[in-house]
Amino acid sequence: MKALVTAGPTHEPIDPVRFIGNQSSGKMGIAIADELAAKGFDVTLIIGPTSLKPTHTQIKQIPVQTAAEMFEACKQYFLLNDVIVFAAAVADYTPKNPSSVKIKKKEEEFLLELVKTKDIAAETGKLKNNKQVTVGFALETNDEFSNAKQKLENKNLDFIVLNSTNDKGAGFGHDTNKITIIDRQGNVINFELKSKAEVAKDIVNYISKIINGKN
């Protein structure tokens, strides 16, 4: 079977030397890609700007920088894959008119106009067929379950992986993660704090469960 994974942040240019980004390292998405490859999947990894790389040599890597580039890559590969895991931390907004030259520090205030980026999981979710399995992530700071459940429905996912910034050792910048899986049947499965490699195994095992239920 074929699997598509997105990982890492996106960098949205303000000018040639500055960008809007986030603290995602790509560790979780890369760990999932490695685990899928270890389980025999033919894996394509669409990866934002990060110094980290998967360890499995058979993984096809597609580097991107911006949310728009990640969206285009996902559209191209979405229907070619049986499993799609949206683990990237894609920017919600991007500068409307990035400067072609470095912006000089002159005024006391600098206003930056932003426009919304494409919701990659929601847009590609409209193309999804009944045999595909799609997985999303929700990193939340408040109203965690209600926000995650809404994303599950809006993005047409089979299940969503919830992270809370209120959990110590979870989310960005850690080698560990603490997740809750919420699926379309209303099942809620809580996991203990684990290494991201172990978390990836839990996620891939749940993917296998969903695949078996569709066959």
For 120-129, what is the mean pLDDT? Answer: 94
- Quote the pLDDT of residue 157: 96
Which candidate in 22, 129, 147, 205 is catalytic?
A: 22
Least confident of 20-34, 56-70, 84-98, 134-148: 134-148
Least confident of 65-69, 78-82, 125-129, 211-215: 211-215
Q: How far apart are CA 147 and CA 140, in angstroms?
A: 8
Amino acid at 201: K
Q: How far apart are CA 50 and CA 57, in angstroms?
A: 17
Instruction: Decide if pLDDT at 169 tops 60.
Output: no
Instruction: Decide if pLDDT at 87 tops 80.
Output: yes
Domain ranges of the chain: 2-100+111-214
Domain spanning 2-100+111-214, CATH class: alpha beta
- Quote the pLDDT of residue 213: 81
Is 142 an active-site residue?
no
